[in-house]
Structure 1
Amino acid sequence: MAIKMYEVQPDYMTTPGKILRDTIRSKNLTQEQAAENLGTSAKNLSNIINNKVSITPEMALKLEYVLETPASFWNNLAKNYQEYNESKKQDETISKEKEWLKKINYADLANKGFVPKTRKQQEKLKNLLKFFGYPTFKIMQTSMDNDKLLAGAYRISTNQGTINKYALKAWIQAGNLKANKINTDPFSRTALKKVVPQLRELNLQNDPQTFIPSMQKILSTAGVAVVFVPEVKGSRISGLTRWLPSNSTAVIELSLRYKTNDHLWFTFFHEIAHLLLHQRQPFFSMTKVYDEDPKESEADNWAANELIPRKQWDQFISDNQFDEKNIIAFANQIKIHPGIVVGRLQKEQLLSFKSHYNKLKVHYKWTI
């Protein structure tokens, strides 16, 4: 037996058939005598010895009586050998799928902690299948081709270029794995609407280690699982709102693509808007170059005005005094972070995106 780490890996140079043959000989029996004692034909026993026929539970029990070796030994031997053969077949199939390592950026997924780091191609392919949850890449490709969620994203163009469908698939899968670990109540628009003020209060907290757990706890009472997953290279995504297969839990997945608090909170409230205002369908948040869907504009307006109420905003910009002192004073007045005020001024082209007031924003960094 060869032992690797904590996993025992059998050496199947010695097959169940060979062990059976050696055991028969150790009892000073011929194959013909053993077959007669077992109540089977010599041909059937020969097929078992030559590994052409598996040892059945019935035969294992007979072997226990004739050869004085526990039936459990023979059953486990047969089971392990069958698993070994299937694993070998799987390895042979996977070894022919190396082109998938060109489709999927394994190093990027490994650096983000989605899959184990390794240099071996075979291990990479196995790790990818386990991560995505498929036994073969052929089945995975068929599933992707029929996935309505992904199909909607592929039709979107972005300012940064075409979306890599495999990168997006990986980002979504990482979010699914996280969301499935969050326990929530059944989704309720009424409950979600009630907790919006609590969620808005969290914008004043700078540390994600503090506000993310609070955000998740609050939203779980409304049937929403919120997860943060670093952007996979090529996915070009900021956020996604969707439903788990049970359809009783909504998922908000955020990538922190732009890594500043104004983008984070606007995208977060944009996704909440979809849950409050629109039907149960997926919504992607990306930098788009096509005409906005009216639902996206509705979500934008709701998010902007929920974070910074329109009446106060109009009064603030009418003064046209956007220095640091006034920005901070206005932010304190409406209990919003100054960085979010700066972000809205930039979005409405009242401040340059290169403004030195960017220093008022909170900048986040992913730690894996």
Structure 2
Amino acid sequence: MEMAIVMAREAGMDWIIHLDTDELIHPAGAREYSLRRLLLDVPDNVDMVIFPNYESSVERDDIKDPFTEVSMFKKNYDHLPKDTYFGLYKEATRGNPNYFLTYGNGKSAARVQEHMRPNGAHRWHNYMKSPKYDVRYLNLWSFSFLLVFSSQVQVNSGEMFLLNYLAICYLFSCSEIKLEEAAILHYTYTKFSDLTSRRDRCGCKPTKEDVKRCFILEFDRLAFIIASTATEQEMRNWYREHVVWTDKDTNLKLLRKGVLTRIYAPMAIIRGLKESGIFIDAVTSAKAHPKANIGLENNESIHTNVTAAQSTTLKEGGNDNSQATARKILEMIDVQEEAVPPMSPPGFLELMESALS
């Protein structure tokens, strides 16, 4: 990801997004179904946008091409009313450890700029900027404090409102927002073979304790143990019970309540690209260039540009600028958060803790 940032800057990219091979972007909410349009509409003072993720809900156990065969998705907690989420939590979870099989904390896109670094696979971080907050999520206490403070000045109600608004925008200028309609579509465990593929690339023992070394999320751990200890028929039965949505009545109920949703646009786009031959042309073109040479050229280019940038900084600013930058970085180390891991959506325990706090 570090190399991707440098390559994005070299190419003059405006945004960078971490996306896995089992994910697509659903740019809902834009004036046209376009990621470019969606990001162009983001305010200039926003450095990062968070895409809540939706999780695939397969209806068969014989899926071969998820991007063209799966149309049903479970919505993220952030895109549902709380009463709907918790009211239908049990039915939506279906006996699994969490609401989603895998992660629920979305992915993000960040503006390509100086000092940006990946903060895990789900977020980005700029180590030369202090954290900022979306003004829409200010708590009531902060807003009340500003009201009381501004009330000490002799102004009319209109001026007071403007003063409070400007104070909030100044003190808590927005650099991160969460999109209210767009989402990451995560096609997870869409194929039965996903069980064995995860098993085959991990050397952990199939025990509850040892799998913690390889997997963060509980469902991944359970799936690995099943794939390592069960027969193929037992695996298929487990897969149908925990992954495949075979109960049409439940599906219809959750679709009507908005927990599940149908999304067809990505399916139609991928099918069109395949039928037009664009995918085949891309694969053929990639095979025509040896991977080793491409990687070597990129590495040399990146190393050259990074070295040149460092040399330019030293020449232009001298030791004073370099030392000042180093001091600022060291000062911010204490307040930096750890890399954001994949996290499950909130459950009943989190609800109780939130209610008591």
| Fold similarity call, TM over 0.5 | no
Tell me the TM-score normalised to structure 1 length.
Answer: 0.19
Hey, which of these two has a bigger chunk of helix by percent? 1
Hey, which of these two has a bigger chunk of strand by percent? 2
Tell me the TM-score normalised to structure 2 length.
Answer: 0.19
Select the structure with the greater relative contact order (CA < 8 A; seq sep ≥ 6).
Answer: 2
